[in-house]
Amino acid sequence: MLTRLVLTDFRNHADAVLAPGPGFVMLTGENGAGKTNILEAVSLLAPGRGLRRASLSAMARQGGSGGFGVAAQLDDGVEIATGTQAAAPERRIVRVQGAGAAATALAERLTLIWLTPAMDRLFAGTAGDRRRFLDRLTLALFPGHAVHANRYEAASRARNRLLAEMQSGKRGDPAWLDALEHQLAGHGAAIDAARRELVTALGARLAAAPEGPFARAGLALEGWQGEAEALAAALRSGRARDAAAGRALSGPHRSDLAVTHLAKAQPAALCSTGEQKALLLALILAHAELVAERTGRAPVLLLDEVAAHLDPARRAALFDRLAGRGQVWMTGTEAALFAGAPGTHVALPLDGGARPAESVRP
């Protein structure tokens, strides 16, 4: 868990320091105080683009230095940090114990899972959104998943460029094309295998869960699946087709996460907005428990405005289920939303954190 968080010129926070304790970390304040911004800062302490998927330059505070910094100390004493500099606003810098590191190294130090209001329509959104969500869940169990995903994307971009050049009449290098497809096949098979292991384990946990205040979800991974050899063969035979399409039409980037409301035997995409939110919350809770069981390390949960959308009974059930299961960051406009959830309460000033936010333990 995090024991200290320092933000410098991040979003609306010029200089904020928080000292969260174990259990619940409740961020309260009026709209515009920067509660979600703090969760976004924490989410950057993992590989990827954070919970908003914003550009790095958009995260730097207006009127600030032009860059930003997010630093944290973990309960094992390790210090991790990320940020940018004004000279290169879209180049992310990562440090572990003061030394430069790749962003993928963060997954070995801290496991983060988040739920935001923007994710409420995940099941009715695009397959790409669901793949990114699935990859975030998979990364929590398999830290090496980020490496495979990054290298797969890089090889895919290089292959697309080479196919486009060859289609336009330029002479390409067949050996280089073979090498790229070999890389795609290896990383693609690893991505698919990790996703399927996660979906199988999480689906079994959800299916076996008793009926309760949160809906039970059924999971399945649809679309492409296969071994490295099969993907390599599909890429070789599909070069002309892929060149015309401008992208590979075979591979794990064509997969989709299918979610079903088990009690109603209905696809999540056809459920009501309230049912979809309940399914998503049930999925996140079951995943957090699975990660803690498999790794021996509870993930840090970032739950943005989750309490405001639950009735008192479900809110109490949520707090009861999360109690003693690691550090849980939650945001809300009123402290009353978190009645019965002991932990660190951080009241944010409306001026956007121009001074350090103070933490108190009730």
Write out pLDDT tens, residues 100-121.
999 999 999 999 999 999 998 8
Which pTM was predicted? 0.88
With CA atoms as reference, report the closest residue to 209 among 325, 329, 321, 323. 321
Taking every pair of Cα atoms in the chain, the longest distance, rounded to a whole number of angstroms, is 70
Q: How far is CA 356 from CA 37, 119, 210, 263, 353, in A?
A: 14, 30, 44, 47, 6
What's the chain's Rg over C-alpha atoms? 22
pLDDT tens, per residue, the chain with 362 residues? 999 999 999 999 999 999 998 899 999 988 989 999 999 999 999 999 999 999 999 999 999 989 999 999 999 999 999 999 999 999 999 999 999 999 999 999 999 999 999 998 899 999 999 999 999 999 999 999 999 999 999 999 999 999 999 888 887 788 999 999 999 999 999 999 999 999 999 999 998 887 778 888 999 999 988 899 999 999 999 999 999 999 999 999 999 999 999 999 999 999 998 889 889 999 999 999 999 999 998 999 999 999 887 888 888 889 998 988 899 999 999 888 998 788 888 878 755 543 433 333 22
pLDDT digit string, tens, across residues 69-103: 999 999 999 999 999 999 999 999 999 999 999 99
Percent of the chain at pLDDT exceeding 70? 96
What pLDDT, on the 0 to 100 scale, is given for residue 120? 86
Cα angle 328, 116, 48 (rounded to 5 degrees) comes to 85
DSSP string, 184-252: HHHHHHHHHHHHHHHHHHHHHHHHHSPP-SS--EEEEEES----HHHHHHHHHHTHHHHHHHTS-SSSG
Tokens of 188: 């693609």
Residues 6+ away with beta carbon under 8 Å from 164: 243, 246
